[in-house]
Chains A and B, each alone.
Chain A
């Protein structure tokens, strides 16, 4: 979580990663970069929450059981966001995994801030 990767100009902190992707936070820009499905996409606060909602809403069980669905692909489109994902069922599961880990780490970071930094300083 504290390992900082230096890329040209911007500093990223890795929030969470799996072997399928990673999410980084940029403190200076106040946003996140999602490295998944072969692209690096920037998400601000609102869009990250919208992505979370969109992914969490997908009924994976239903997709698994419903074999009559013609394509095994789901399009994740987010209003007023430059990115959209066209993902297979397996990729959706992986993205959900990545997001769940990320939000757990962000929550943990929040707790650390509340209990440590914000009280003492």
Chain B
């Protein structure tokens, strides 16, 4: 008896499901960043707004990357619906705290997929995920550095104005 399902699709149904969940997670991240950009803009933090617009765009690209991978491997990618996006933040700092939390949870969920791939020896998806792990290094670094500005510069006086100006200048330059 032929192994028809494997001929049609490289992904196991479990890995396919996890990748679709990740597609949703990236779309969710993108929507959150877009909302943060809105909040920052409305409250006069122009550089941070730009920073979050860029982040939103990046998350959208992450979503598409997985979306196309699932299709290329013969699977079914599902366009997610995203709801419940926070509109208001209590403070400038809270925006960056949420951003870091979001990145940490993305890293965690990618680790979970990789663990599954390892278990079923899906080295192809595992190798695909490597790009995302590299990306998470940068994403977490930037989010953490941004939050640290609040400690380094301090929020008193023109602090928040200074912080906003520096957010756009954070770069991750590790070659390792």
Contact = CB atoms under 8 A, between A and B. Distances in A.
A25 B3 CA distance: 10
A66 interface: no
A25 B7 CA distance: 14
A5 interface: no
Q: How large is the interface on B (under 10, 10 to 19, 20 to 34, 35 or more residues)?
A: under 10
Contacts of A1: 1
A4 to B, nearest CB: 9
Tell which of B4, B5, B6, B76 has the most Cβ of chain A within 10 Å: B4
A27 B6 contact: no
Interface residues of A, number: 15
Interface in B8-29: 8
B42 interface: no
A51 interface: no
Contacts of A2: 1
Given A25-B1, A109-B1, 14 more contacts: A13-B1, A15-B1, A25-B4, A27-B1, A31-B4, A45-B4, A45-B5, A106-B3, A106-B5, A109-B3, A110-B3, A110-B5, A110-B6, A113-B3
Interface of A: 1-2, 13, 15, 25, 27, 30-31, 45, 49, 106, 109-110, 113-114
